[in-house]
Amino acid sequence: MTNSLLLAHETFRVLAATAGSDGLVWLGLTGCTSLSVFLLIIAMRLPFGELIRRQEEAFHGALVELFLFDVTPRQLTWIMFGGAVVAGLILGGLTYHSQAGIVGGALAFVVGTMGGYWVPRGIIFMMQRRRRNKLNEQLIDGLVTLANGMRAGLNLVQSMKLIEQNTQPPIAQEFGLMLREFEHGASVDEVMRRASARIKLHHYRLLFAAMETARTRGGNLPATLDRLGEALREIIRLEEKVKSLTAENKTSAYMMGLMPIVIIGIYWLISPTWVTLIFNDPWGLMFLVIALAFWAAGFLWIRKITSFEI
């Protein structure tokens, strides 16, 4: 270690002697910058580690819900962060080389990084929403299968096995997992509570709560399932009616959200200098940030007022 310090000192002395005063200033600035970056990395290590931990927990819950066990949460987290940096570098480089200036390139880097960060999350969210919609569509048939199986003399676990064998995923996967948990020693009530927490749909929470109540207090469980099926069928009908009534407004919201991007593209085709002036001029950048903020607020507000829950 002593030899390394002596070598570094001798190297710095030679560089200082050959570079002159300007070289000393350059070396000093480089050293200060490197030290600042190093200290910033050390200071951000704990917050960044906490962010990674929370993201891994979120991805773990999503992957378990989607029954995707080939990808680990850590792999998905690093893919997300790596994709964010790559997307930011690509968009920032393209913007900088299109004569948008350093500020425009930096702004494009930030936008690309945010886009690359949210795209994997958006894909996971879309997969979750599609799977939950499919689960809701299969719920009524599952209730009928449960009730008919119990009327035929089967117990609750055997009726659940009918759903696993005679239905399609994802409801077959969920009830299959419930059966595996029951076979490994968990009680039926505990299995239903775990499934309710895993599926995260209020229709299924209502189903499992009604089944647990009927099992605890006694009663005709097939008749309870029939009444629950009628109630859920009416709720689903009302939800579909609300979706059809608000579909036009949601389409208008999407069109209004895409309109600024379309207009900027048209102006880029007509006169690229007008668009590049927005990124090169400080006032243009300020108005661009304000416009993006109002655009995002308006889009979210329209989505909020056109979203209903039954």
Query: Each residue of 81-90: pLDDT tens digit?
Result: 888 778 778 8
Please name which of 80, 74, 48 lies closest in space to residue 60, comparing C-alpha atoms: 74
Instruction: Please tell me the predicted confidence (pLDDT) of residue 128.
Output: 87
12-16, 255-259, 285-289, 296-300: segment of lowest average pLDDT:
12-16
- Mean residue pLDDT of the chain comes to 75
The pLDDT assigned to 136 comes to 86
Amino acid at 300: L
Q: What average pLDDT score do residues 223-252 get?
A: 80
Q: In this structure, are residues 144 and 159 in contact, taking their beta carbons and an 8 Å threshold?
A: no
Across 57-71, 93-107, 173-187, the highest mean pLDDT is recorded for 173-187
CATH architecture of 132-243: Up-down Bundle (1.20)
Structure tokens at 182: 């029951």
CB 209 within 8 Å of CB 193: no
pLDDT band for position 46 (50/70/90)?
A: low
User: Considering only 24-28, 107-111, 181-185, 204-208, which range has the smallest mean pLDDT?
Assistant: 24-28
pLDDT tens string 201-210: 888 888 888 8
Residue 104's CB is within 10 A of a number of other CB atoms, namely: 23
pLDDT band for position 103 (50/70/90)?
low
pLDDT(5) > 50: no
How far apart are the C-alpha atoms of 27 and 268, rounded to whole Å? 43
In angstroms, the CA 135 to CA 139 distance is 6
pLDDT at 99 over 70: no
Domain range summary for the chain, segments of one domain joined by +:
1-50, 132-243
Contact criterion met (CB below 8 Å) for 174 and 203: no
Task: Tell me which residue has tokens 């995260």.
Answer: 200
Query: Quick one: pLDDT at residue 40?
Result: 52
pLDDT > 70: percent of the chain: 79
Q: Mean pLDDT over residues 61-74, rounded?
A: 81
User: How would DSSP label each residue in the chain?
Assistant: -HHHHHHHHHHHHHHHHHHHHHHHHHHHHHHHHHHHHHHHHHHHHHHHHHHHHHHHHHHHHHHHHHT--SS-HHHHHHHHHHHHHHHHHHHHHHHIIIIIHHHHHHHHHHHHHHHHHHHHHHHHHHHHHHHHHHHHHHHHHHHHHHHHHHHTT--HHHHHHHHHHHS-TTHHHHHHHHHHHHHTT--HHHHHHHHHHHH--HHHHHHHHHHHHHHHH---HHHHHHHHHHHHHHHHHHHHHHHHHHHHHHHHHHHHHHHHHHHHHHHHHH-HHHHHHHHHSHHHHHHHHHHHHHHHHHHHHHHHHT----
Range of weakest confidence among 69-78, 95-104, 165-174: 95-104
pLDDT tops 50 at residue 8: no
pLDDT-derived band at 44 (thresholds 50, 70, 90) equals low
Distances (CA, A) of 57 to 51, 77, 126, 269: 10, 10, 18, 45
